[in-house]
Structure 1
């Protein structure tokens, strides 16, 4: 069984289960286990960190329970806190894997660029009060497109076997006081998005020229890059799967609506 999950990251210590139990995975598995009357263990498409939001997370799990698809949505939601919601449910083949079957993930990072962060956006958007040069950041972002060794942008505790990733898209747009970073890659390293945003913001502040990003890629050393940017404005907005899996149309519809709603809130 596969589910599409959305959650407000402000409420949780990230996705992955922890001893304190205050993670999205902990709450979801508890609700699923109660709903099915059997122990449930889930696998997700991307393990988000503390404070990171999910608009289109995908999970899969094995179960002997048989329910209508709408029951998986409404029944499990009735057992979840309001900050986590099942958006859709779909039966999948035994070889479907939420993480390894995915071909790409898309994240959006939102920054409010203003003197003081509006209270209503605390925990929902990143913030920087310095004037940021949009064109310089856009130029710098182009160095990150393609297949690269992203060692300079991975956490020291990253467990990925390889730092090689393929960045399909990295665009930056401005909407009033908001800067919207859209990043799509085959997969991301631990803290990779936040480290990339931090480096691009340094370029936007004028601390480095855009080609500094190229130098960081070549150095492959995290010590020379910018600090990890705050988690607040990071959203997992889409996960791509091969069309033959059958999730594409449903998941895309929900993900697109969720993303458009996010943009309308800006």
Structure 2
């Protein structure tokens, strides 16, 4: 291997694989010979052993044809460090697993298979989900190997057919010279870009982890298609339960501990709709110097998720919520939001405000106040919601005529005579669900065995300072002492102030000065070309 390999770009698994390889090579080296004859014999034995280890022949990409496609995929993000690959990441990324699967199946041919780099295949992705966030409708686009024969392979095949037919005709002519020879070579049937193509979902699902599945592929994205910039609409859903965490009796600072006012949350969510400046609902990255924080929200609402109940007999609603929360408890709800694009951590910050409203600690008009950047240009320092319940639900695209992109879903290729043609998609996900379902059932039975119903007629504990238990999307509430209203919390610097400070730490007078110098360098480079 070359001495100038950049191991910094290698993935964690590739580095481990390299270490194992080096250890094996070290073990295969003979010990220092005690005698010249014995040493030479040991060295020859070691060399013979190495020769027996034959490497798998690699596919030659120059003999293959390629096509540009889009892939729709789903993944459960709890075990991953986000979608985007980072060499310094502790957990594996979704992109890293995709790269390994695409390389292993010879659908892409990177210069270095150990370095996660999509640079040579026109790669683009729709969303960059954070650590722990899942997706059921993520989309990527890239150039992949196709089963379509190249002109060279077609000519080679035609030549073989002609030679075979010529030999057969010559053999027949020796037996009966009176019969005429047929010299016409039949043309092979035309290549069907769907029926004759590689079953991309099936091939990739064979090698991907069970919590990452390819759901379908688009055979004909429009010209200049980008999974990021061609996306017309992105949909997210954030799931939570009612009650949000194990409820308790009212405290001096909180009335219905553990319960959420769904109607108030719906009121607040509705205020997100429309085009607004969401700088108070995102995390600022000063390195990118983003100046436009306006985003369009097409829909924002709270919906009950049906058929998700796992009954807890000990639960009963507080008297003032019994009219709206009748039936089996706990219930499952989700914050459903549709928009054209979103800022970094925007959804989780929006949800955090909704939870404060739902717990009765803030009024729904808090959303209006935070969206009014003229009066409130600085974001209060509030905690954003947990990442695990968030799902990138869907990404919508249209072609040049405005019609929805045609997707070939994995279930479309299922052959009734071969139930395993959709390898791992249904059966594998069933195993995942069954495993966590058993955990849920056992925890449910144990909780019902131990827990006792709350007596809301009992007087609340009134001694001591007011204290609240905050719900932030996790599995339990967080003791937070006395609640400080969001509009009275400490304030962050404005995005402009953060960008200027970041630029000054790198030797520029301001963010504007940094951008001007960058543009000047680019202009000089373009002029030199």
TM-score normalised to the size of structure 1? 0.83
**Does residue 223 of the first structure (1) align with residue 379 of the second (2)?**
yes
5 Å-filtered alignment, 1:115-154, equals 116=245, 130-154=258-282
Alpha-carbon distance change, 178 to 225 in structure 1, aligned in 2, over 3 angstroms: farther
**Residue in structure 2 matched with residue 120 of structure 1 by the alignment:** none
5 Å-filtered alignment, 1:79-118, equals 79-91=207-219, 92-114=221-243, 116=245
**In the aligned structure 2, how far is the partner of 1:43 from the partner of 1:195?**
26
5 Å-filtered alignment, 1:152-171, equals 152-157=280-285, 159=288, 160-171=290-301
**Residue in structure 1 matched with residue 200 of structure 2 by the alignment:** 72
Query: Deviation at 1:34?
Result: 2.3
What is the aligned length? 247
**Does residue 12 of the first structure (1) align with residue 80 of the second (2)?**
yes
Question: In structure 2, the residue corresponding to 1:144 is in which secondary structure?
Answer: coil
**Residue in structure 2 matched with residue 211 of structure 1 by the alignment:** 365
Q: Which deviations, in whole Å up to 9, do the C-alpha atoms of 1:34-59 show, x marking residues without a partner?
A: 22250272321111011111101010
**In the aligned structure 2, how far is the partner of 1:79 from the partner of 1:132?**
43
**In the aligned structure 2, how far is the partner of 1:222 from the partner of 1:235?**
28
**Residue in structure 2 matched with residue 125 of structure 1 by the alignment:** none
Question: In structure 2, the residue corresponding to 1:223 is in which secondary structure?
Answer: coil
Higher relative contact order (CA closer than 8 Å, sequence separation 6+): 1
**Does residue 24 of the first structure (1) align with residue 105 of the second (2)?**
no
Query: Deviation at 1:143?
Result: 1.4
Tell me, yes or no, if the aligned pair for 1:70 and 1:89 is still in contact at 8 Å: no
**In the aligned structure 2, how far is the partner of 1:142 from the partner of 1:99?**
27
**Does residue 183 of the first structure (1) align with residue 337 of the second (2)?**
yes
Question: In structure 1, the residue corresponding to 2:301 is in which secondary structure?
Answer: strand
Tell me, yes or no, if the aligned pair for 2:352 and 2:383 is still in contact at 8 Å: yes
> Please, which runs of 5 or more residues in structure 1 have no aligned partner?
118-128
Q: Which deviations, in whole Å up to 9, do the C-alpha atoms of 1:86-114 show, x marking residues without a partner?
A: 11112224411101000110001001233
Tell me, yes or no, if the aligned pair for 1:11 and 1:51 is still in contact at 8 Å: yes
**In the aligned structure 1, how far is the partner of 2:409 from the partner of 2:344?**
25
Alpha-carbon distance change, 90 to 248 in structure 1, aligned in 2, over 3 angstroms: closer
Tell me, yes or no, if the aligned pair for 1:46 and 1:99 is still in contact at 8 Å: yes
Q: 2:405 aligns with which of 245, 248, 265?
A: 248
Q: 1:38 aligns with which of 100, 105, 109?
A: 109
**In the aligned structure 2, how far is the partner of 1:143 from the partner of 1:252?**
36
TM-score normalised to the size of structure 2? 0.43
Query: Deviation at 1:5?
Result: 0.6
**Residue in structure 1 matched with residue 446 of structure 2 by the alignment:** none
Alpha-carbon distance change, 225 to 182 in structure 1, aligned in 2, over 3 angstroms: farther
Structure that is richer in strand per residue: 1
Query: Deviation at 1:130?
Result: 2.3
Question: In structure 2, the residue corresponding to 1:62 is in which secondary structure?
Answer: strand
After TM superposition, the structure 1 stretch with the greater mean CA deviation from structure 2, 242-251 or 232-241, is 242-251
**In the aligned structure 1, how far is the partner of 2:349 from the partner of 2:218?**
34
Tell me, yes or no, if the aligned pair for 1:96 and 1:245 is still in contact at 8 Å: no
After TM superposition, the structure 1 stretch with the greater mean CA deviation from structure 2, 67-76 or 239-248, is 239-248
Question: Which structure's CA Rg is the greater one?
Answer: 2
Alpha-carbon distance change, 53 to 168 in structure 1, aligned in 2, over 3 angstroms: same
Please, what is the CA RMSD of the aligned residues?
2.9
**In the aligned structure 2, how far is the partner of 1:132 from the partner of 1:4?**
35
**In the aligned structure 2, how far is the partner of 1:11 from the partner of 1:85?**
14
**In the aligned structure 1, how far is the partner of 2:381 from the partner of 2:353?**
6
